[in-house]
Structure 1
Amino acid sequence: MIKSPKIVHRTSSKAVFESAKELGLTDFQARLVSHRTNQTKQLDEIVFPKLKHIQHPSALKNIEQAAEVIVNAIKADGVIVLATDYDTDGVTSAWVATTALCDYFGVPKSRIVHVIGDRKTGYGITDDVVKRILAIEQPIALVISADQGSSDEERIAVLKSHNIPVCVTDHHQIPLNGVPESAICTVNPQQEGCEYDKTVAGCFVIFLVMTQVRQSLIQNGLLDKSSPSLKYLALNVALGTVADSVSLKSPNNRAIVHAGLQLVNMFQSPAWQALRELNDNQGHPFDAEFLGFQVATRINAASRVSEVATAFKFLSAGNINEARMYLEQLDTDNQNRRAQQEVMLKQAYKQALDKYSNDTYSMTLKLSGNAGIQGIIASRVGELYGLPTVAMTDLKDGTLAGSARGIVSEIDLRQAFQWMSEQKEDLFLSMGGHKGAAGCMIPIDFYDEFSQLFEQAIKQQVGDSAPVPIIETDGELNDWQLTPNLIEEISALEPFGREWPKPLFSGKFSITQIREVGQSKTHLSCKLKTAGGSIFQAIYFNAKQNESEPTPFATGDKVTCTYQPGVNNFAGRTTLQLRISSMIETS
């Protein structure tokens, strides 16, 4: 039986609370802020994000060198190859670089060649990516990587041997042997000696690089001083930043996402106009949550079940009809992804149930199906059990591709994978990622050994007690606070995301009405009554794993819930609705 989640209240910093009050926040807002940081430094930049707060690009090591290399490529005759990752961060990186080069710097689109990675062949500048680059018939002036490249010395060396220069821009961890020596330069805040914010996404790094290219072009007399800045590119840098789950406590990330959302909600881009037609977010402005769950899922679906190029073409669409066409395909891909996901989740839940015990520290699953969906599976299973989880898919070529999610806050997956590779040198065919999310590829024969080593690695980081599901909340609310005005106070602290989570509250209720809803009948719609007698409408998504599972609650049950307050607009009336994230029966 899965351990019941442990509900804990976030701790408050008195110094931050007082500083937040001095900034003009309400007591309620100041309390929320004090739950999310214990540092008063740069608090105003965190609470009131602005583009002017972004750290100067000059702090990014090698950025001047990269700009010079790119300017020389612009002046040359050959094509410029953009080698980017296949996820939303990578696709938005491709959009940022292309838009800057073509629309702002005057490079003909015929000189830009896109080589976006393929989930089937793995992350990074893979052998397949090198093969595709070497197959380009035109002379190549430069390869610019974005959101990848730091761990790909071997493949970059192959390109160098063919006299193809590579400029790496990335944000992933640097391998122990350092940046790729064969690259003409590497721009990555993770590298030794770089003073830039380590939390920025790949699309943010290429955005900064292109900003520096603009300055170099002006200094070289190749671009007029009055040429527009690149701040409009924040439109999709925001999307890539949110999608990559980097820290939204960082003033840099908050500033770019805040500015990007302002541009998104102007709906000047055909892509965003088409998205509003598909889903207008009930008339509310698009926020970071919408970007993550409604937009990034569709962008990622292209590489998971279809062609990643569709996602890039959608973001780059020149008119609304073109954008609609590509969005229709992305939406179809997303529906296909969801259907495949349900099949794989059934496999995963069955395996997890068989593997789990009170002394389990981690979960490693071997699945059949679409490798592009395994990251979602790892998140779902990991969150259910409160355990670091790796979901691996049989690629039918003697290898397994894996996606890992840390789930537990103190877990560092990169560190875990590094330790595992030291115990068995040939364990990984490839690996990469962040502290909280990582990917790998291993020989299928090493699955059992991988599982054992992963369990040991997690145990070393966690300690003597196996993890339990933890739900951090901002405490309880009084009945009088639960009004639509509460949403306005919360929204003023946007954008929310990793390390600056959307407020979550806890409370004790009795169920006065409950029913299964949704096409799959796995969601619960209910009415909850507080101890004070107030009744609130609530929705509990994915309360059941499948339709056949019995409804776990009934009218009259007393429950402890964690929830996010939201608004429900129906028949011209706005009411508060509680979005349940967990429900535990209490006596």
Structure 2
Amino acid sequence: MNSPETRWHLPRLHPGDTRRLARELDLPELLVRLLAARGYSTPGQIRQFLEPTGAQLHKPDTLPDIAPATRRVCSAVNNRERILVCGDYDVDGVTGTALLVSALRRLDADVISYLPHRATEGYGFSSRVVQFARAEGARLVITNDCGISDHERVAACNDSGIDVIITDHHEPGDYLPNALAVVNPKRADSQYPFRELSGVGVSFRVADALLRERNLPRNGFYNTMLELTAIGTVADVMPIIGENRILVKYGLEQLHQTKRVGLQLLKQVAQIKRKPTPRDIGFAIGPRLNAAGRLEDARLALQLLLEDDPAEARRIAELLDKHNRDRQKYQEDAVQEAIAQVESEGQTRHRALVVHSPNWHHGIVGLVAGKLMNRYYRPAVAVTIEHDAGIARGSMRSIPELNLSELLAVMKPICTKCGGHAAAGGFAVPLERFETLRQTIFEFANQRLT
């Protein structure tokens, strides 16, 4: 629902221009007006938006550090060094990990994977990843959808003689980790034309560069990897513009005829029988894959995406479907409690909302924040209070008018851990600093949003 305070900002469009474009492109004038309102005001821009093609994809060689990254991976493949792919526990991280593992298997690499546990490790490149890499004899770690702010873990790997390649799409800090390569289109020195790739989108470009380096055909690769890229991009709520629009368009086509047994069974339990749409990903496929990391272990979702055995894939798909139903119940209870808290505390006087409870599962607080953001149209923060551990862990969702990256920079000195991008973020803070953090969020939003 829309808050009574919702304000619409409509661009002023010259009627003559839209009529001329409509005639030139043979399109309804209303459609042209809608596209112009979104910034597509020339024939070329409109054609690219309505008819995206693979030829519009940029070559990956302008991504920062892509050359040393591909050289090091190829060296590891040639020398049979073990490679560890480390991802995040959300859909973007899981699909990106599945993509990189699949691509490296195609290169006949010695590859293993690791996904963190949401409840015991939290987001990012944790110290357990370093321990796991040492124990498994990995000589190279490749991160996906994480790592851009994990300086200490990268240093620990370096001290152990383990090289690190970071692939990430989150906003970098003031300085980069001392990794062998940091592939991120949001780096200040990036020459890559499109900044808004998802984590799996960055992994897709890295895998593409690897196949180019090895002079291997990429058509088959595109057929099996684009579906993963589309799922992660939509589920991570990335803007479906530019390259993302191309990747999602072709990814949906491949998802419709997927050869991945796990995705075939997941579509069955989600009752998707026609060609999938972004809505199918956002409301059926994505939530079921996410349910593993929210309530149990994200490795279950990764196993499904890599599974070849139909019977095992069906078992996992049905289990994820059950987890998703459980998640829906927990979420609805938490949302109602959060709304009651907002209203009883009169938080609508602020330009941001911060709700908290010891009863909420950490895996659903991001969903609670998203529901509040949509209901009240303002940045929302939902926090689970962990008294035994002495910490508060929260997730944040924001409206376009407030870039969370700027708020996260202000929060960083207060938190033990925080990160994210313009629309979403997460943090952990000692309980004794939680009220300070809460007031900081209120003050920041009240100053920025008028």
Give 1:423-434 correspondences, 5 Å limit.
425=413, 427-434=414-421
Instruction: Report deviation, 1:10.
Output: 4.5
> Match for residue 149 of structure 2?
151
- How far residue 28 of structure 1 moved from its aligned partner, in angstroms, is 3.5
Q: Displacement of 1:347 after TM fit?
A: 2.5
Taking the aligned partners of 2:218 and 2:240, their CA distance within structure 1 comes to 31
Deviation at 1:154, TM superposition (A): 1.1
Do the aligned residues in 2 keep the contact of 1:21 with 1:30 (CA within 8 Å)?
A: no
Deviations 1:340-375 (A, max 9, x none): 212322321221112225532111111222101000
Structure-2 change in CA distance of 1:39 and 1:156 (3 Å) = farther
Decide whether aligned partners of structure 1 residues 21 and 247 sit closer, same or farther in structure 2, where only a CA change above 3 A counts: farther
User: What amino acid does structure 2 have at the position aligned with 1:192?
Assistant: A
- Matched residue pairs, number? 441
- CA–CA separation in structure 1 for the residues paired with 2:150 and 2:107: 29
- For the residues of structure 2 that align with 1:21 and 1:260, how far apart are their CA atoms? 32
Shift of 1:191: 0.8
Q: Alpha carbons of 1:460 and 1:98: their partners in 2 closer, same or farther (altered >3 Å)? A: same
Report the counterpart of residue 132 of structure 2 in structure 1: 132
The DSSP-based 3-state class of the residue aligned with 1:119 is: coil
CA pair 457-26 structure 1, distance change in 2 beyond 3 A: same
Say which SS state the counterpart of residue 396 (structure 2) adopts: strand
TM-score of the aligned structures, taking structure 1 as reference length? 0.72
Number of the residue aligned with 2:391: 399
Counterpart of 1:190? 186
> Counterpart of 1:126 in structure 2: which amino acid?
S
1:7 is displaced (CA, Å) by 6.7
Deviations along 1:19-45, whole A, 9 cap, x unmatched?
465333333432332232245363322
Q: 1:462 matched to which residue of 2?
A: 449
Q: Distance in 1 between matches of 2:22 and 2:314?
A: 43
The answer to whether the aligner puts 1:379 opposite 2:366 as a matched pair is: no
Partner residue of 1:35? 37
Q: State TM-score, norm by structure 2.
A: 0.92
How far apart, in 1, do the equivalents of 2:231 and 2:22 lie? 28
Show the counterpart of 1:71. 74
- Partner residue of 1:341? 331
Q: Is the aligned partner of 1:444 residue 2:428? A: no
Q: For residue 230 of structure 1, give the secondary structure of its aligned residue in structure 2.
A: helix
Contact 1:374–1:402 at 8 Å: present in 2 too? yes
Change in Cα spacing, 1:358 to 1:216, as seen in structure 2 (3 Å) is closer
Higher percent of residues as helix: 2
2:304 counterpart of 1:314: yes
**Residue 59 (structure 1) shift:** 1.8
One-letter identity of the residue aligned with 1:266: Q
Aligned-pair distance for 1:419? 2.2
Aligned counterpart, 1:201: 198
CA pair 20-456 structure 1, distance change in 2 beyond 3 A: farther
Q: Go from structure 1 to structure 2 and tell me whether the alpha carbon gap of 1:5 and 1:24 turns closer, same or farther (over 3 Å shift).
A: same
> Structure 2 CA distance, aligned partners of 1:191 and 1:42?
26
Q: Does 1:350 align with 2:340?
A: yes
Cα 1:39–1:117, aligned 2, differ >3 Å: closer, same or farther? farther
2: CA distance between counterparts of 1:245 and 1:330?
21
Aligned to 1:84: 87
Q: Which residue of 1 aligns with 2:171?
A: 173
Q: State the 1:4 CA deviation.
A: 2.5
Q: Which range is displaced more, 18-27 or 283-292?
A: 18-27
Distance change >3 Å, CA 384–CA 333, structure 1 → 2: same
CA 3–173 in structure 1, closer or farther in 2 if over 3 Å, else same = closer
Paired residues of 1:20 and 1:33 also in contact (CA < 8 A) = no
> Could you tell me how far apart the structure 2 residues matched to 1:141 and 1:29 are?
53
The match for 1:101 is 104
AA aligned opposite 1:64: A
Equivalent residue runs for 1:529-568 within 5 Å: none
**1:390 is the counterpart of 2:381:** yes
Would the aligned equivalents of 1:364 and 1:390 in 2 still touch at CA under 8 Å? yes
Deviation string, structure 1 residues 142-183 (Cα, Å, up to 9, x no partner): 10001111100111101111111101111100011x2112x1
> What is the one-letter code of the residue matched to 2:26?
G
Which amino acid letter does the alignment assign opposite residue 267 of structure 2?
R
Paired residues of 1:430 and 1:441 also in contact (CA < 8 A): yes
Structure 1 unmatched ranges of 5 or more: 219-224, 464-587
In structure 1, give the amino acid aligned to 2:160.
Answer: H
Change (3 A) 1:343 1:131: farther
Match of 2:227, SS state, is: helix
